[in-house]
A and B are shown apart, each in its own frame.
Chain A
Amino acid sequence: MNINRRKFIKTGSAAVAGSVLIPPLIQSCQNLKVSENVKSYLDHFEVTVEMLQKVISTAMSRGGDYADLFFEHKISNSLGLEDGKVNRAYSNIDYGVGIRVLKGDQTGFAYSEDVTIKAMLNAAKMAAAIADNPGKFEKGNVVEKMPEEFYRIDKKWEDVSVKDKIPFVQKINDRVFSLDEKVIKVNAFLNDETSYVMYYDSEGKLTYDYRPLVSFGVVSIMQRNEQIENNYSARSFRKGFEWLSDDVVNELAQETVDKTNILFDATKPKAGEMPVVMGAGGSGILLHEAIGHTFEADFNRKGESIFSDKMGKKVAESFINIIDDGTLINNRGSLNIDDEGNEVQKTYLVKDGILNSYIHDRISSNYYGVDPTGNGRRESFRHIPIPRMRATYMETGPHTREEIFENVDYGVYVDNFSNGQVKIGAGDFTFFVKSGYLIEKGKLTQPIKDINIIGNGPQALADISMVANDFLIDNGTWMCGKGGQSVPVTCGLPSVLVKKLTVGGTSA
C-alpha cells in the first residue's frame, strides 16, 4: 500500500530525509555541527547528536570496549495477484534502534522500538550488562562518514502510488496466459522496500544509508492432460520504480513459461555420484553453500568450520577466483555501508586457487587482526550483526562451455534451483535442482527435475576442473538464512564442471 512516510510522519513530529520540517524542541538542542545529510537522518529518527552520545555513554558505562546504535525505519509494500486480478495488498512499517555493547568477543544487545531518550537509555543499560566493571568512557568527536552510492535511484518507492504499480502486476498475468494455452493459473507479486538506516558508535562514527529494494516475480501453473506443473521466475534489485517496464514483464513471463514447460517431460535421473555441469548464473548457489558459509569468520573463529585451518592454502585450481562483493551497482546484495557502519568491499575469498580471506564482521576482524570486509549484516535493528555474504560469485575462467560438455560422457547439467543448505563443520552442502538435463556423450538429452544434489565443500571446490568464460550474476530473489536472520543476497557463476557430486534420483 502507498504508506507515504512523508505524509504520515508530519503528524509524528519528525521530518523525512531531505525535508526541512524540524520540530522546535529538537532544533533547539542541535548544537553540534553536522552536514545536511546527517541532519536529515537525525531529524528522521527524531534524535540529536547529544542524545546519541548520552545513550552511547550509558552503553559504555560498565566497561564495554565498544558500543554502537543502529537506527532503522523500514517501509515494505506488497501487491499480489491471484485468479487473474490484483486483489490483495500488504504493507508493514518497522521502526527502532538496536544497541550493542562489545567486551572482547562478548556481545550485549537490546533494542527499542521507541526512540525516546528514556527508552533508549533503558535498552542501553540492558546491553551494557555484558561488561561488569564500572567503565570510564570519554566521548570522542563526531566523525561523519559519507556512504558510497551503489544504488542511486530516480523514483523512490515511497513516492509511488499503488495505482501506478498495479498495471505491471496485471500485465504479467495477462502476458503469461497469452504465451501458452497450457497455463491454468498465475500468481504474481511486486514487493518494494525502503529502509532508512543511521549508525553511530562509541568511536564517534556517524553514518547512514538509504536502501531501496524491489522484487517482482511470477509463478505459472500449467496443465498438460492430467499433469500439472509450476515454476517461478523473479528479479530483484536495489532500484527504484523506474526499473519496472514492459520489457521486464515480458522477460519474466517468457522465462516462467519456458521453465515450467521443461518440467512436463522431465524425469528423475539414476541416483549416484557423477559429473555435474553447473550452468552460468544461479549455479552460484554452489559457491554460497559449498564454501561461502564455511568462510564466514564467526564459524572459523570458533573452530567450527571445515575451512578453519585453511587460510593461505591451496583449495582450488589456480584459475579459480571467488569473490564476495558488496559493491555491484544496484545489486540486491549490495550495501553502501554494512550494518556495522563499515565500508563494503569486493572481497577475494579465493585468489588464484588460494584461500585469501574469510568473511568478516567487527568481532571476527578484530580477532584475526585484519581489516573488516564490510560483511557485518543484520536482518533488522532487532538483530545482532554477524558475518554474512552479499553477492558471491566466481570470475570467468579459461575454458568454453563447449569444451566443458565435451569432457562429460555421462552426467547432469543443472541451471535452475530453489534452495540449498550446508553443515558448516562436516562441510556437506546441498542444493535442490528444479530442472536440468542429462548429459550423454557431451550432449544435453533427457530433462530432469526435483532432485537434491549433495557434496562436500572442500572436495567440491577442489573438484571444479573447468571454468567457462560465460560469467553471469543471477538477479533472483535469493534470501540467505543464518542464526534465525534472513538477508537478501545474490550469487553468480560461469559454467563450471564439478568432477563429481552425489545426485538424488532412482536407484532401482
Chain B
Amino acid sequence: MTIAEKYKLAKWAMQHALDNGAQEVSVSIFDSTSSSVEVRDEKIDKLEQANQAGLSIRLMVDKKYSAHSTNRLGNKRELQKFIEEAIKGTRYLSEDEFRTLPDPDLYYKGGGVDLKTFDNNFTDIDPQQKIDAAFAVEKEVVGSDDRIISVTASYYDGINNTVMVTSNSFEGDTSNTYYGINASVSVSDGDARPQSFWGESAIFYNELKTEGIGEKALKRALRMIGQEKIKSGRMPMIIENRLASQSLGPIISALNGSAIQQKNSFLIDKLGERVGSDKLTIIDDPFIISGRGSRLFDGEGLALKKRPVFEKGILRTYYIDTYYGKKLGMDPTTGGTTNLVFEPGERNLEEMTASLKRGILITGFNGGNTNGTTGDFSYGIEGFLVEDGKIIQPVSEMNISGNMKELWMNLAEVGNDVYENSSWRTPSLMFNDVDFSGL
C-alpha cells in the first residue's frame, strides 16, 4: 500500500465507525517488510522474508472505550462488519468519563524537520550483499581459536510505515528503516560453554558497521572463561553502556501516568524533588537527527517537545498521556520516551574501570526484576571483579539487590561513552554501595 492508499483506507474505516455510532475514532494503518539471514558452519541456516499489514481502531462510543486490530484488510465488507461488531460490543462496557481523543490544540500539525529515519535506498540493496555480509562476520572468527564451539552470524533489515487519522483532525504518517548485523559465539570452558554476542545496527545501510562484529563477540566470550562467584559484599558497580538501560528502566516506568495513577510507582508526588544524585541529568529529546527514538508526534498524535526528565537529580517530568492526564488532573506530556540523553561525564568505561579500587564491572544481566511499587530490585549478573583498577577475575552466578531510589542517589559517575544503537542513549554508569550476593 502506498501512503495515500493507507490514508484512504484509514479515513474510510474512521467514517464507517462514525456512521455506525462511534463519537470519537482514531485509526492507524501500518505495513512492514522485513528480511533476515542467519549463517553458521559456512552455510545459510535460516532465510526469512516477511510482509505484513494491519489496521487498528480506537473507538469511543457513548463514553465507552475499546480498541481493535485486524490483518484482514482485503475485503471491505468484512472490515465494515468488524467495525460494526466492535461498536456493538463496546456499548456493553461501563462508561469511562476520562476517555477522549486529545485536545486538537496539542496535535502535531506538520512543518517539523526531517528527522532522517528513512533510507530511500532500502529496496535497492542486492539480497546477495546481505547474505555476504553475514558470511563475512562469521568468517572473521571461524577457525581463529580452537576453543570456539559455535558461531552464528545474522543480517536483518526492515521497513515500517504507519498512517494515523483521528476524528478530531489529526493526520500523520511515519516511516522508518533499520539494518542490523549480529554475531554470537560459544566457547568451551570445561563443561561450561559461555556464549557472547555483539551487534551493530543503523537506520541507513551505508552507515551500518559490518566489520569487527564477529571478533568482538569472540573476544567477549573468551574473556568469560573461568567465571566464578565471589564472596557476597557491598561495593561499587560499573554497568557497561549498552546494559545501563536495565538500571534506567524501572525509574522510567515509575514516571508513567498509568503507574502513578494506579499507585504502582515508587515516584508518586516526587515532581521537583530529588530522586537521584546530582550526576543524574537526562533530557528526553525527540528531535535528534537519525536518533533511534526520534519522532515528531507520539502514538496519540501529540506534538512532541524536548523536555528535561531529571536535572541534577531533580525529577522534572512524568510521562502522561491524555487518558491518565485526565484521571490525574494533570496536563498530558506524552505517553512514552523518545530519545533519552544523559549529560555525559568525562571518562569512558576503561578509564572508569582503571580508577576503581575494588568493585564489579557488569557486562551481562540474567533475569531479575523490580517491584514497581516499592522500587526494591534484585537482578542476576555476570562481569568482572576489578581490584586496583585491574580486571582480575570473571564473575558470574551472582545477584545485585537494593532499592532503585537508593541506587540512583548512589550514582557516582556518568561516562562519556554513549551507546547510540538504542533510543535510550546510555553511557556507562558507576554506582556506589551495591549489595552483591555470591558465596
Contact = CB atoms under 8 A, between A and B. Distances in A.
Contacts of A425: 186, 192-195
Interface stretch (A27-35, A80-88, A238-246): A80-88
Contact of B68 (A3, A94, A106, A431): A3
Contact of B396 (A305, A426, A451): A426
B72 A2 contact: no
With most chain A CB atoms within 10 A of its CB, the pick from B52, B69, B191, B436 is: B191
Contacts, number: 290
A352 B273 CA distance: 59
A502 B379 contact: no
B401 interface: yes
Contact of A268 (B94, B195, B401): B401
A188 interface: no
A347 B165 CA distance: 51
Interface stretch (B20-28, B314-322, B369-377): B369-377
B66 A95 contact: no
Contacts of B436: 271, 507
A274 B195 CA distance: 27
Contacts of B43: 105-106
Interface string A439-467: 00000000001111111101000000000
Interface string B390-432: 0000001111110000000000000000000000000000000
A485 interface: no
A453 B378 CA distance: 9
A2 B88 contact: yes
Given A304-B186, A305-B193, A306-B191, A12 B78 contact: yes
B136 interface: no
B81 A302 contact: no
Nearest to B227: A426
A91 B234 contact: no
A166 B49 contact: no
B46 A106 contact: yes
Interface in A1-28: 1-4, 7-9, 11-13
B45 interface: yes
A88 B66 contact: yes
Contact of B93 (A13, A86, A92, A126): A86
Interface in B134-173: 149-150, 152
A382 B78 CA distance: 22
A254 B64 CA distance: 30
A112 B229 CA distance: 49
A176 interface: no
Contacts of B435: 271, 504-508
Given A271-B399, A419-B367, A107 B263 contact: no
B401 A452 contact: yes
Nearest to A229: B373
Nearest to B437: A271
A504 B401 contact: yes
Nearest to A431: B367
A261 to B, nearest CB: 14
A507 B227 contact: no
A384 B46 contact: yes
Contacts of A491: none
Contacts of B382: 423, 426, 428
A303 interface: yes
B94 A85 contact: yes
B367 A421 contact: yes
Contacts of A162: 89, 92-93
B252 interface: no
B50 interface: yes
B383 to A, nearest CB: 12
A162 B380 CA distance: 42
B366 interface: yes
A109 B47 contact: yes
Interface in B87-113: 88-90, 92-96, 99
A87 to B, nearest CB: 4
B264 interface: yes
A211 B366 CA distance: 33
A223 B81 CA distance: 45
B68 A90 contact: yes
B378 A93 contact: no
B67 interface: yes
Contacts of A126: 49
A304 B47 contact: no
Q: Which 5 pairs of residues, A with B, have the shortest CB-CB distance?
A: A271-B437, A430-B367, A421-B367, A504-B399, A425-B193
Interface of A: 1-4, 7-9, 11-13, 82-83, 85-96, 105-114, 123, 126-127, 129-130, 161-163, 166, 184-185, 187, 221, 223, 227-230, 268, 271-273, 289, 302-306, 308, 382, 384, 418-432, 449-456, 458, 502-508
28 contacts: A1-B85, A2-B85, A7-B85, A8-B81, A13-B75, A82-B262, A87-B95, A89-B90, A93-B70, A109-B46, A112-B51, A127-B49, A185-B263, A230-B373, A271-B438, A272-B438, A273-B439, A305-B193, A384-B46, A422-B367, A430-B399, A432-B369, A449-B371, A454-B398, A504-B399, A504-B401, A505-B399, A508-B435
Given A166-B93, A428-B380, 18 more contacts: A87-B99, A88-B93, A91-B68, A91-B86, A107-B45, A109-B46, A110-B49, A126-B49, A221-B373, A230-B263, A302-B149, A302-B150, A303-B149, A422-B366, A426-B195, A450-B369, A452-B368, A458-B191
